Amino acid sequence: MEQKSLFAVISPIMVGPSSSHTAGAVRLGLMARNIYKNEFKKVKFVLYNSFATTGFGHGTDKGLLAGVLGYHVDDPAIKNIFDNVNIVNYSYEYQEDISRHPNSVDITFDDKMTISGDSVGAGEIRINSINGFSVNIDGTYDTLLLMYKDRPGMISAVSDIIQRQKVNIASLHCDRSSKGGTASMYLALDIPVGDEVVDKVRQTKDVFFVTNIRKLK
Amino acid sequence: MAILSFTELLEKCSRDNKTIYEIAQDEEAFLSGDSVDVIRLRVMEDLLAMKDAVKNGLSSKEKSISGWCGDDCVKLTAKFSEKPALFGKVFEKITTYALATAEENLRMGRIVACPTAGSCGIVPSVIIAVSEERKISESEQISGLLTAGLIGLIISNKVQLAGAVAGCQAECGVASAMASGALVQMLGGTCNEIINAAALSLKNILGLTCDPVCGLVEVPCIKRNAFLAIHAVTGAELALCGVESKIPIDEIVDTLKITGQLMSPLLKETSLGGLAKTKTALELEKKLHLAHKPI
């Protein structure tokens, strides 16, 4: 089991009122922003279960929006975020789905990318799917995420590029739609890699998407 | 080398001849690669933010979205300045500071989640109030907060600290156990006494549900912070007298987890049962004219 930091329990410094429903929401938004990376015109949030039933009272809606706009959990501006956003088109939907975590959300940018995650308590989060591919990103590591056409040799090709930079890989996970179909890989890294690594991975044959996801502060 | 149980922690204390806070800061330094001094500075930042939240809370009467809450700590300050509380100054300060912090939280003010935002008044009120009354140094307060942190961390390795997962026992209940441990540390207790204090506090709050009225972190959350801060003092005082929990703390933590699993989802932060479905709560809900009714 991975060791957790003490500061998971005696932090974060945040605006209230709920660590799971406010700070967790902000961090899910921030993480989704780190993954999507592009400027966006439109963002849709689908809130599930407890996020849907009690989210309004906990400022979950404000938190998610503030997060995708890059605000941090202790920013007093979150309280009045709706008064200050007029460029981005945002919307919310509310659903019940008992197969999902009690505090769960899907965030869709520009109808292009959907990022799903859970707020798992005390402000901690977990991103568990990106466009339907399962991942497990909790924001504690700098992470390299790529999508590619499934083929032999991809893991060694990518790990070779990273190893040449003398960056240690903390963990590596893969998922695929079918043999030879679309696959995803994400690597948790001890230190972040630079743009040149991202470019090299992008130039690797059969890779069609790669992004460098910074860990959360 | 994560410490997975309190048994393991106490063995480590006696084997390495270290206190709980020393183990906490060593483990965190090892995990992060930072020095112990850097870790203690980060804990000090948390402590200062806690003190700011108390200060801001004490001077504000701003009501919450619902308009129900936000001015209770002002009532306490006014009353206690004229007529002291039965249990004295420490009681006055703990209850007032706990309410001040929890009220700051409901205004979407800046607080420290400890372990969660809904339970943010418990650990700070105990540490700050007792330190002021007993002239406890900042360094010792940091050691107290580190002690609280490791207690919460070990519990959180077994059960997620979220009302939606295990009810309020996992939020205010765990906060109370953390505060008990911090208090015994600051008052010079032994490692065994610290863990015993946490055990006594946690054991006596098992089964606490999370049933916030209208889904707001207000009723019963705010006042519960004051109650469970005092609960933490009871745990600490008993432990310092040598009272021991018959059930070991690791088994209490397991029980908390199982109790959380047995608890109906209606009582786990969904506002579909308990206090949230009382006649008065339903009337309040109607009056609120909430902006939307999602499901």
State the ipTM, two decimals.
0.92
Q: For residue B150, which amino acid is it? A: L
User: B153 vs A8: CB contact, 8 Å cut-off?
Assistant: yes
* Chain A CB contacts of B163 below 8 Å: 20
Give A15's strand partners. Answer: B110
d(Cα B228, Cα B179) in Å, to the nearest integer? 9
User: B112 vs A7: CB contact, 8 Å cut-off?
Assistant: no
Which domain does B63 fall in, by range? 16-288
Residue B293 has pLDDT above 60, yes or no: no
d(Cα A200, Cα A148) in Å, to the nearest integer? 14
Helix spans in chain A (H):
24-36, 49-58, 60-68, 81-84, 154-164, 195-203
What is the token pair recorded at A140? 């504690």
Residues 72-91 of B with CB under 8 A from A: none
Return the residue in B151, B217, B221, B222 with the most chain A beta carbons within 10 A, the one to mutate for interface testing.
B217
Query: Helix count (H) and strand count (E) of chain B?
Result: 13, 1
User: A16 vs B107: CB contact, 8 Å cut-off?
Assistant: yes
Positive or negative, the CA dihedral A16, A19, A21, A26 is positive
Q: Are B92 and B147 in contact (CB under 8 A)?
A: no
Residue B66 within any structural domain of the chain? yes
- For range A134-155, the mean pLDDT: 93
User: A9 vs B31: CB contact, 8 Å cut-off?
Assistant: no
What is the token pair recorded at B109? 């003010």
Record: fold of A13-131: 60s Ribosomal Protein L30; Chain: A; (3.30.1330)
Residue B10 within any structural domain of the chain? no
Q: pLDDT confidence of A1, banded at 50, 70, 90?
A: low
d(Cα B188, Cα B236) in Å, to the nearest integer? 11
User: A103 vs B164: CB contact, 8 Å cut-off?
Assistant: yes
Query: Helix count (H) and strand count (E) of chain A?
Result: 6, 11
Domain map of chain A by residue range?
A: 13-131, 142-213
What is the model's pLDDT at position A87? 83
Q: Are B201 and B180 in contact (CB under 8 A)?
A: yes
Q: What's the total number of domains in chain B? A: 1
Q: pLDDT confidence of B1, banded at 50, 70, 90?
A: low
What is the model's pLDDT at position B266? 95
- Tell me the CATH architecture of domain A142-213: 2-Layer Sandwich (3.30)
What is the model's pLDDT at position A153? 94
Count of A–B CB contacts within 8 Å? 187
Residues 204-263 of B with CB under 8 A from A: 212, 214-218
Residues 131-160 of B with CB under 8 A from A: 145-146, 148-150, 152-153, 156-157, 160
Cα atoms in the 13 Å half-sphere on the side-chain side of B132: 13
Residue B54 has pLDDT above 60, yes or no: yes
Instruction: Please give, rounded to a whole number of angstroms, the shortest distance from the CA of B262 to a CA of chain A.
Output: 16
d(Cα B150, Cα A59) in Å, to the nearest integer? 29
Residue B9 within any structural domain of the chain? no
What is the model's pLDDT at position B118? 93
Helix, coil or strand: residue A152: coil
**pLDDT above 70 coverage of chain B, percent:** 97
* Among candidate residues A60, A81, A213, A57, the one with its CA nearest the CA of residue A123: A60
Q: Residues B159-200: pLDDT tens digits?
A: 999 898 999 999 999 999 999 999 999 999 999 999 999 999
CATH number, position B87: 1.10.4100
Residue B154 within any structural domain of the chain? yes
- For range A134-141, the mean pLDDT: 91
d(Cα A64, Cα A71) in Å, to the nearest integer? 10
Nearest to A14 among B4, B113, B145 (CB): B113
Say yes or no: do domains A13-131 and A142-213 share a fold. Answer: no
What is the token pair recorded at B28? 């965190």
